[in-house]
Structure formats: structure tokens, C-alpha cells
Copies of this chain bind each other. A is one copy, B any other.
């Protein structure tokens, strides 16, 4: 006999049924962890597609109406849509309705919630970030196994109710994720280093090569290292536009740190300083090899 505890998500409303939102829907469905999934989004065609694919049970084109019937609202649309959406659903949300999200930056979500929600609703706020994904966008790329063995980071605010936090944790655990909690600022600083900075480097590299006169010739001779290195430059531009601006301060700090390291390498090359180059490369190789050795069981699918 199923108890309420078996379906931690109850009725779920997913705002933004793209690759991540769609994957979460499929994964929860596969785990039999929710009763009903309501989709909301900007594009009726995309919602219709999600319905046809069996990702959602129904869709709404009115945000408040989607939220009104939900036990859990998951924001999976671009970060910049957070505040307007929260304003639209604020008065429709049930007293116990959880508000969670999958955004790659968390400070901006918390700030938007403070501005847009009633203070009493902050107890239902559980910001989250699954460290999983791929460079493909859209519900057609949704995958029920996307989160298996990947980390999901939850960043509760001081007001977050421990019971609501537990329910969101359970929701991610049933889809196979390993859940960790950290504070919002730590999350944004860590992700600026491990994800947001590398994306900027990949975009800058591809843009640099694409703008060279000989770019056709150059791309012709690029090999696997280049394909790997630039995979993340195929990510969704709108999403990354939002992430950059949302996590601006941390990202600028990391860009400046990176610039310092690259300048050191440039100067060593320019001045034929072989010992310094060898020292830098050896230290970096060691750090990277250690990183791979330390987390051998990790699913290194794209984030």
C-alpha cells in the first residue's frame, strides 16, 4: 500500500519544461514519486510537445493557475524569469506549496524570492541546483536518468522549514541524485570556479577562432581535444547570459584570478622560462589527476 510518503512530490508544477525540467518530470514519473505533473511555459508548442512525449500530464498557459494546483512548484526556466514568475504565482500558492528551482546560480533566486514573495512564504523556499545536464536544450533531450549519481546542491535560506527541505531532498534522492546542502554564497562561489568560468573560456575560445580570417581552415584541423574542450560552448546562450549576470561578482573574481594564471604562463613562454612552465604544467596535471582519482565513481556525464 502506498502512503503519502511514497509520493514526495504530490502534484508537481514544472515552470519551463525544457531539458532539465523535462528530465526531472520523467525521472519522478519513472520513480512513481508524484501524482500529477502540470507544465507551464512560454511556448505552447513546446508544452504540446512535452504532453505528446508523456513528460507532463497537462499544461497551463497561466502561471497562477499552474501554481494553484501544485504541492511543489519547480522553476526550471531561465534565471531572469524567476522574479516575474514568483510575482505571478505568489497569491495562488497553497500555504504548504513548496517553491524550488534548478538554477545554476542561487543568490539571484533568493533575492528574487525576497522581493516577490510574502515573507511567510519563505519557509516554503528550497533553492536547488542539480549538477547535471548537457549542452542540448529542449524537452526532446529530456532523459529520466539524467540525475543518477550526479550531485544536487540544496541551498536553504534561514527561513526554510526543515520539513520542506526534507521533502525536496527526498524528491532528488528518489531520482538517483546525491544531495548535499550548502549556503547560497558558497554555492555561487564554487560554481563560478568549476562551471561558470569554464563556460566563459569555452565561449571565448570558440569566438576567438571563429572570428579569425582562416577560421574554416582552423576548424578543419581541430581534433578531439578541441571538441571536448569546447563542448560546453554549445550550451544555451540565453541560459548562460542569465547565469553570467546573476553570478556577476563571483564570476568577475574568477575571471581575474584566471587572467593572472594565464598571464603567468604567457610571460613564461615569452621569456623562454622553461622551468616555470614545467612547474605550472606539472602542478596542474597533478591537481587534475588527483581530481579524477578522488572521484572515480562519479558520473562524469556533462553538467
A115 within 8 A of B: no
Looking at A205, A229, A281, A288, the one whose CB has the most chain B CB atoms below 10 A away is: A288
Contacts of A189 in B (CB 8 A): 214
Looking at A153, A203, A218, the one whose CB has the most chain B CB atoms below 10 A away is: A203
Contacts of A202 in B (CB 8 A): 229, 284
Contacts of A198 in B (CB 8 A): 205, 225-226, 229-230
Of residues 197 through 244 on chain A, the ones whose CB sits less than 8 Å from some CB of chain B are 197-212, 214-215, 217-238, 240-241, 244
Contacts of A277 in B (CB 8 A): 240-241, 244-245
Bound form: Cα–Cα A202–B287 in Å: 12
Q: Identify which of B151, B251, B265 contacts A203 (C-beta below 8 A).
A: B265
Copies of this chain present = 2
Bound form: Cα–Cα A278–B203 in Å: 11
Does A303 contact B224, Cβ atoms closer than 8 Å?
A: yes
Given A150-B223, A223-B300, A245-B277: A287 in contact with B209 (beta carbons within 8 A): yes
A292 within 8 A of B: yes
CB-defined A-B contacts under 8 Å, sample of 26: A190-B218, A198-B229, A201-B262, A202-B229, A204-B262, A208-B257, A210-B284, A212-B257, A219-B290, A219-B291, A222-B291, A223-B300, A229-B229, A229-B232, A230-B288, A233-B284, A233-B285, A233-B288, A234-B288, A234-B289, A236-B285, A238-B278, A244-B277, A245-B269, A251-B269, A259-B259
